[in-house]
Amino acid sequence: MTDQTPIENPLHGRMEAFRTRWSGAPAKMLVGGEWREAQSGETFTTEDPATGEQLAEVASAGQADVDAAVAAARTAFEGSWSKVKPDERARLINKLADLIEANGDELALIETLDVGRPIQFSRMMDVGGAISQLRYQAGWATKLQGETNEISAPGEWLSYVLREPVGVAGQIVPWNFPLAMACGKLGPALAAGCTVVLKPAEQTPLSTVRLGELALEAGFPEGVINIVTGFGRTAGAALASHMDVDKIAFTGSTQTGRAIIDASKSNFKRVSLELGGKSPTFIFADADLSKAIPAAAMGIFFNAGQVCAAGSRLFVQESVADQVLEGIAGMARMLRVGHTLDPETVIGPLVSEVQLDRVTGYIESGRVEGATIMVGGGRRDGQGWFVEPTVLVDTEASMAVRREEIFGPVLCAHRFSDAEDADRLARMGNETEFGLAASIWTRDITMAHKLARRLKAGTIRINGSGGVDPALPLGGFKSSGWGRENGRAGVEAYTELKAISVALG
């Protein structure tokens, strides 16, 4: 007997719920505890990158909406939120984490559809990442301290330094990890006692809207968390230049990072920038290749390369180069590229047609400049914004594909022969304007540490790979940004120091 019984798709009911939830009236913005349309009445559409299908209409914020959100955040900062005790702030942040956990399947599906994340990753990485960020950051609410300082005139003064919240924080998030990054930004701001106006990317607003609903359910006072959905050049620019915003935290492109710096000059607001990279992976001949090869492959192909710390340049020692490149190319061919709702899919689409054109344009530029396409190299036929996992070999430092952030599943490989010269290897690693991350694979632990010391990169992994850890500072040298998120440095970036001295004489 052939089994004709339709397989029960566990996502089926959730898809119905998703459509019911998002296909009706345009999603609104959260301002001062209320859900509002844009004052202009304008909306925009967000799509599913796996199909190009329109998912939802969303309110498009303009200057007036940003003004209202900032005013609400200011009122809450000076008023209700300033009276909430640190342990209550921690409880609220943890409560939000609990609600994200309780609604994890729904949030994972939103992220899969709106961002193009394969479903097998969205529950673990997006939802899991959001929860671990909030739980880690909640701990800081009760642990931030000022200090008592013995100053230059002992006995004559009592001096102490207060650590105060910086005020109203504007937070601008990109489209690659919207939920986890929103929580990674909200957590430290709220822990430090700031209030927030949060803007998700126009490609991926839906999980942030849902996050706003959960924040209200968690019990945050009105105006503590405000959400404005809209475009960068309107809503984002209005937030970055706003005279009553005390700090901007931004993750995205270097170009927009520069625009944020320009806009922030209006009132010298504090700025933290996480601007991506062109991170090197070094594989030495003595490395454990059974680990290094899959890690290097997933380091660039995971999330179709749309990861700030993606290992997009590979420096591999000549004597193992063929073996390593064959191994990575083999994975490129084998990894399942497909619809994001298919539980077997490993590689999903790029977020938009704009990014598809950008990434395929880079592959073509590499070919024109003389690189060889070892595997991949093109768009996948059919609907959605899919690019094949691609390995470019024979790349040179002068090529655009070796210097610029492609933000797609494109690895640029280069062979090295002198494995003893840490200075020379570090110069190769440091040859771009970026300095976000690096990976080193070798059993020569002295070389690993020598190279790590010489590399200009904010995050370096030796003989292992891993994602963002909320306890570790994240950020970059050079054009990869300003400041650090996460860890102590991340939460302290939402504070100001105030030195107070009392004369004892």
Q: Total residues contacting ligand NAI (rule CB under 6 A)? A: 27
**Nearest-approach distance from CB 177 to ligand NAI, in angstroms:** 8
- Give the residue with the Cβ less far from ligand NAI, 218 or 273: 273
**Nearest-approach distance from CB 153 to ligand NAI, in angstroms:** 46
Phi, psi values for residue 469, rounded to 5°: -115, 120
Please report, as residue ranges, which positions from 320 to 359 form the binding site for ligand NAI (by CB under 6 A): 355, 358
- Give the residue with the Cβ less far from ligand NAI, 26 or 327: 26
Q: What is the DSSP string of 26-38?
A: PB-EEETTEEE--
**Nearest-approach distance from CB 49 to ligand NAI, in angstroms:** 13
- Give the residue with the Cβ less far from ligand NAI, 122 or 176: 176
- Give the residue with the Cβ less far from Mg ion, 204 or 459: 204
Please report, as residue ranges, which positions from 192 to 221 form the binding site for Mg ion (by CB under 5 A): 203-204
Given Mg ion, ligand NAI, none, residue 128, with its beta carbon under 5 to 8 Å by kind, binds none
Please report, as residue ranges, which positions from 194 to 253 form the binding site for ligand NAI (by CB under 6 A): 199, 201-202, 231-233, 236-237, 240, 251-253
**Nearest-approach distance from CB 111 to Mg ion, in angstroms:** 10
Residues ≥6 apart with Cβ < 8 Å to 322: none
Per the CB < 8 A criterion, the answer to whether 101 and 94 are in contact is: no
**Nearest-approach distance from CB 131 to Mg ion, in angstroms:** 22
Question: What residue number has its CB nearest to ligand NAI?
Answer: 232
Given ligand NAI, Mg ion, none, residue 256, with its beta carbon under 5 to 8 Å by kind, binds ligand NAI
CB under 8 Å, gap of 24 or more: what pairs does 331-337 form?
331/293, 331/294, 331/297, 331/298, 331/301, 331/389, 332/297, 332/301, 332/375, 332/376, 332/388, 332/389, 332/390, 332/391, 332/409, 333/375, 333/389, 335/297, 335/301, 335/389, 337/380, 337/386, 337/388, 337/389
**Nearest-approach distance from CB 408 to Mg ion, in angstroms:** 17
- Give the residue with the Cβ less far from Mg ion, 306 or 465: 306
Per the CB < 8 A criterion, the answer to whether 145 and 492 are in contact is: no
**Nearest-approach distance from CB 208 to Mg ion, in angstroms:** 12
Cα separation, 335 vs 308, in Å, equals 21
Given Mg ion, ligand NAI, none, residue 479, with its beta carbon under 5 to 8 Å by kind, binds none
**Nearest-approach distance from CB 215 to Mg ion, in angstroms:** 21
Length of the chain: 505
274: annotated active-site residue: yes
Given ligand NAI, Mg ion, none, residue 56, with its beta carbon under 5 to 8 Å by kind, binds none
Per the CB < 8 A criterion, the answer to whether 336 and 304 are in contact is: no
Of positions 116, 174, 366, 435, contacts ligand NAI by CB under 6 A? 174
Given ligand NAI, Mg ion, none, residue 114, with its beta carbon under 5 to 8 Å by kind, binds Mg ion
Of positions 212, 276, 327, 409, contacts ligand NAI by CB under 6 A? 276
Cα–Cα distances in angstroms (integers) from residue 287 to residues 146, 321, 435, 444, in the given order: 45, 12, 23, 8
Phi, psi values for residue 15, rounded to 5°: -65, -40
Residue in 194, 308, 388, 405 annotated catalytic: 308
Per-residue mark of binding to Mg ion, 158-197 (x: CB under 5 A):
----------------------------------------
Given Mg ion, ligand NAI, none, residue 46, with its beta carbon under 5 to 8 Å by kind, binds Mg ion
Q: What is the DSSP string of 157-188?
A: EEEEEEEEE--EEEEE--SSSHHHHHHHHHHH
Please report, as residue ranges, which positions from 53 to 92 form the binding site for ligand NAI (by CB under 6 A): none
- 83's tokens: 């009276």
Given ligand NAI, Mg ion, none, residue 201, with its beta carbon under 5 to 8 Å by kind, binds ligand NAI
Residue with tokens 């700090």: 247
Please report, as residue ranges, which positions from 396 to 455 form the binding site for ligand NAI (by CB under 6 A): 405, 407
42: annotated active-site residue: no
Strands 34-36, 43-47: pairing is unpaired
- 281's tokens: 């992976």
Per-residue mark of binding to Mg ion, 87-126 (x: CB under 5 A):
---------------------------x------------
Of positions 131, 308, 341, 491, contacts ligand NAI by CB under 6 A? 308
Residue in 47, 274, 405, 492 annotated catalytic: 274
Cα separation, 228 vs 171, in Å, equals 10
**Nearest-approach distance from CB 230 to ligand NAI, in angstroms:** 8
- 408's tokens: 């797609």
Cα–Cα distances in angstroms (integers) from residue 34 to residues 29, 56, 72, 215, 300, in the given order: 8, 20, 10, 12, 41
Cα separation, 282 vs 119, in Å, equals 31
Question: Which segments of 177-317 does DSSP mark as H helices, in order?
Answer: 178-192, 206-218, 237-241, 254-264, 289-301
Query: Running DSSP on this structure, what letter comes out for residue 232?
Result: I
275 binds ligand NAI per the rule CB under 6 A: yes
Active-site positions read 274, 308
- The footprint of ligand NAI (CB under 6 A) covers 172-174, 176, 199, 201-202, 231-233, 236-237, 240, 251-253, 256, 259-260, 274-276, 308, 355, 358, 405, 407
- The footprint of Mg ion (CB under 5 A) covers 46, 114, 203-204
